[in-house]
């Protein structure tokens, strides 16, 4: 098999580009202008970040580069994948460049990359740059706070927002169509027809805009939930079984507004733009997250979140650019919680004869150094719909289903302390 045949076979077998690959493309390759250096750009990336890289990741980087319209740097990743998988050297040897300049491909390279020119991801919204196209937006993710909550309250560099318990959604709104994207860049359906119509009406007034936020479901108690069945269960417990569950989109910020790409500006500008767009949307369906800017406001935010039994707070560097993924080094966005939240694997179901309950509890495990270590069981927090879906998924994929569990911490022996089911770890 030559490299041409290899590339063709991998392209045909390729699935969706993982979000972590798009994150690397935006935050490592584009940030360093390596995408403009052709094959040499791939060499630079591999020298800086490619130690121990595997075939699948090299292939994904190549396909991502092609989808972005840069087949020359893609070739560098194809060469690496081909060499790793076959042990054969490729016919074209990359030459390092000292500066980020576009490289004219040699005939051999041009022959290998010619078929990639038609693989560029389609432009769905003409107004938007490539990194803000639906399905290609890498979201900014919070990391667990490294400092006590009081540090962020007192720091003039951080602003605060309440942490909502929902599913991340990026919205691209045009005057003709609304696009919805998950945290992992997967396209999603509309939350409700009412929300979709409201967005269309706003886009017809404001022009194209992009929102970063979260969908959650509100119960009669005012609490938010990740799923409608969970909110319905809360309604039933509160004696309002027939009360409707309200679907809400919480606006964190805007990434594009009034013809401007806001990812390169400050967080303060993005938040302000989100607040402006929110004025054109119905407040019963949309929530503009309140932003605490002063010490007094941040203290009041934390006090309110704790007294109401909310999940916690998100703290944002108000002068940062929009960096997709988790920025552990700069701590651009961090979260503080009043409970520990873990993503754990289901390793077993304890079945019960109780009517309407397919299982009594879930045995869960944490991945530690590549091994699953059982750390306890979870027996609360499920709706009937949750239990049915958990049972279905576990039967189809034993040991491969991941859930989010909220607890008061871990015991001295590393076991869950008062664990409660929060939701299935989909691509939200």
Closest by Cα among 74, 143, 80, 82 to 115: 74
Is residue 76 classed exposed, middle or buried when 0-12, 13-18 and 19+ CB atoms within 10 A define those classes? buried
Residues 338 and 306: beta-carbon distance below 8 Å: yes
Q: How far is the C-alpha of 193 from the C-alpha of 190, rounded, in Å?
A: 7
Distant-in-sequence, close-in-space partners of 148: CB < 8 Å, separation ≥ 6: none
130-337 topology per CATH: D-amino Acid Aminotransferase; Chain A, domain 1 (3.30.470)
The structural domains of the chain, with segments of one domain joined by +, span 3-119, 130-337, 340-424
**Exposure string over 257-292, b if 16+ CB within 10 A, otherwise e:** beeeebbebebbbbbbbbbebbebbeeebbbbbebb
Residues 26 and 327: beta-carbon distance below 8 Å: no
Q: What is the DSSP letter of 29?
A: I
Provide Rg for the chain, Cα atoms: 24
Per-residue pLDDT of the chain in tens (428 residues, 90 and over written 9): 788 889 989 888 877 788 888 888 888 898 788 988 889 999 999 999 988 899 999 999 999 988 888 889 999 999 999 999 988 876 544 444 444 444 444 454 555 555 555 556 678 999 999 889 998 898 999 998 999 999 999 999 999 999 998 899 999 999 999 999 998 888 999 999 999 999 999 999 999 999 999 999 999 988 888 888 888 888 998 899 999 999 999 999 999 999 999 999 999 999 999 999 999 999 999 999 999 999 999 999 999 998 887 889 999 999 999 988 888 888 999 999 887 888 999 999 998 877 778 898 999 999 887 889 999 999 988 888 889 999 999 999 988 899 999 887 787 688 898 898 988 886 54
Give residue 96's pLDDT.
Answer: 44
Residues 255 and 175: beta-carbon distance below 8 Å: no
Class of the domain covering 340-424: mainly beta
User: Could you write out the DSSP letters of every residue in 287-352?
Assistant: EE---B-SHHHHHHHHHHHHHTT--EEEEEETT-----EE-TTTT-EEEEESSEEEEEEEEEEE--
Is residue 38 classed exposed, middle or buried when 0-12, 13-18 and 19+ CB atoms within 10 A define those classes? buried
Q: How far is the C-alpha of 167 from the C-alpha of 404, rounded, in Å?
A: 12
Instruction: Supply the pTM of this predicted model.
Output: 0.70
Tell me the two tokens of residue 279: 């004025």
Residues 231 and 225: beta-carbon distance below 8 Å: yes
Closest by Cα among 392, 387, 401 to 355: 387
Residues 412 and 403: beta-carbon distance below 8 Å: no
H or E, element range at 33: none
Give residue 119's pLDDT.
Answer: 56
Q: How far is the C-alpha of 383 from the C-alpha of 420, rounded, in Å?
A: 12
Is residue 307 classed exposed, middle or buried when 0-12, 13-18 and 19+ CB atoms within 10 A define those classes? exposed
């Amino acid at each position: 098999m030559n490299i041409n045949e290899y590339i063709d076979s991998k392209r045909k077998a390729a699935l969706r580009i993982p979000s972590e690959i798009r994150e690397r493309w935006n935050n490592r390759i584009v940030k360093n202008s390596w995408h403009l250096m052709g094959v040499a750009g791939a060499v630079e990336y591999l020298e800086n970040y490619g130690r121990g890289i595997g075939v699948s990741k090299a292939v994904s980087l190549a396909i991502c580069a092609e989808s972005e319209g840069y087949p020359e740097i893609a070739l560098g990743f194809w060469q690496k994948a081909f060499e790793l998988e076959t042990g054969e050297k490729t016919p074209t040897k990359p030459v390092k460049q000292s500066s980020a300049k576009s490289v004219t491909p040699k005939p051999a390279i041009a022959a290998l990359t010619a078929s990639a020119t038609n693989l560029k991801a389609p432009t769905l919204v003409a107004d938007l740059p490539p990194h803000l196209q639906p399905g290609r937006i890498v979201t900014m993710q919070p990391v667990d706070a490294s400092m006590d909550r009081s540090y962020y309250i007192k720091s003039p560099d951080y602003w605060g927002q309440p942490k909502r318990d929902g599913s991340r959604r990026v919205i691209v709104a045009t005057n003709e169509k609304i696009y919805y994207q998950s945290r992992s860049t997967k396209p999603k359906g509309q939350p409700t027809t009412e929300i979709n119509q409201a967005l269309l009406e706003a886009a017809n007034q404001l022009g194209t805009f992009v929102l970063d936020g979260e969908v959650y479901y509100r119960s009669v108690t005012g609490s938010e939930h990740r799923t409608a069945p969970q909110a319905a269960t809360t309604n039933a417990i509160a004696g309002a079984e027939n009360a409707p569950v309200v679907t809400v989109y919480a606006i964190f910020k805007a990434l594009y507004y009034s013809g401007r790409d806001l990812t390169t500006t400050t967080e303060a500008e993005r938040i302000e733009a989100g607040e402006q767009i929110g004025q054109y949307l119905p407040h019963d369906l949309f929530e503009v997250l309140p932003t605490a800017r002063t010490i007094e406001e941040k203290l009041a935010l934390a006090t309110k979140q704790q007294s109401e039994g909310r999940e916690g707070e998100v703290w944002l560097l108000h002068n940062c650019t929009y960096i997709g993924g988790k920025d552990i080094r700069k701590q651009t966005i961090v979260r503080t919680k009043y409970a520990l939240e873990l993503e754990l694997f289901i390793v077993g179901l304890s079945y019960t004869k109780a009517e309407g309950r397919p299982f009594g509890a879930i045995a869960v495990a944490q991945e530690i150094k590549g091994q699953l270590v059982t750390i306890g069981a979870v027996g609360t927090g499920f709706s009937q719909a949750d239990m049915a879906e958990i049972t279905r998924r576990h039967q189809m994929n034993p040991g491969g289903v991941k859930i989010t569990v909220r607890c008061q911490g871990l015991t001295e022996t590393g076991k869950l302390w008062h664990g409660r089911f929060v939701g299935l770890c989909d691509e939200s």
